[in-house]
Amino acid sequence: MVHSLFTDYIAAEASFAPSWYVSWDEARAMQDAGMVLGGHSHQHQPLATLPAADLAWDVRTCQQLIQANLYSQADWPFSYPYGKTDTFNTRTITHLRALGVTCAFCTEVGSNAPGSDLFAIRRIDCKDAPDGSP
């Protein structure tokens, strides 16, 4: 339903995608500029809710695509769709580790100390900083 609403009121994906999304060429140019790129899943579902086979397919497809289309990197990070701790779980992390993912970011607010879980890296957004600055 959302897809049809989007198509009806905005445009077909093929007509706007090139201006909204990064192409593989642009992604490789970002790597050339020193950026490390990572995955975010293939179908953008809350991974903890997926049946085992769907979870495995989703993260494997994502990782295969980025590794086939990007330059090799020492580290392959991941950012969980939606990012809250109820959207990923140990099963998710097990699949990511098996695929060579080296760390994963969630959207929970907080700091990360030495020894923190590399598959639940928290963030501090500028709006969440104590004095309002980065």
pLDDT tens digit sequence for 42-80: 999 999 999 999 999 999 999 999 999 999 999 999 999
CA 108 from chain centre, in angstroms, equals 14
Average pLDDT of the chain? 90
Supply the pTM of this predicted model: 0.83
**Amino acid in the structure at residue 23:** S
**Amino acid in the structure at residue 49:** T
CB 62 within 8 A of CB 45: no
Task: Write down the pLDDT at residue 133.
Answer: 54
CATH homologous superfamily of 22-128: Glycoside hydrolase/deacetylase (3.20.20.370)
CB 89 within 8 A of CB 64: no
- Cβ count near 23 (within 10 Å): 11
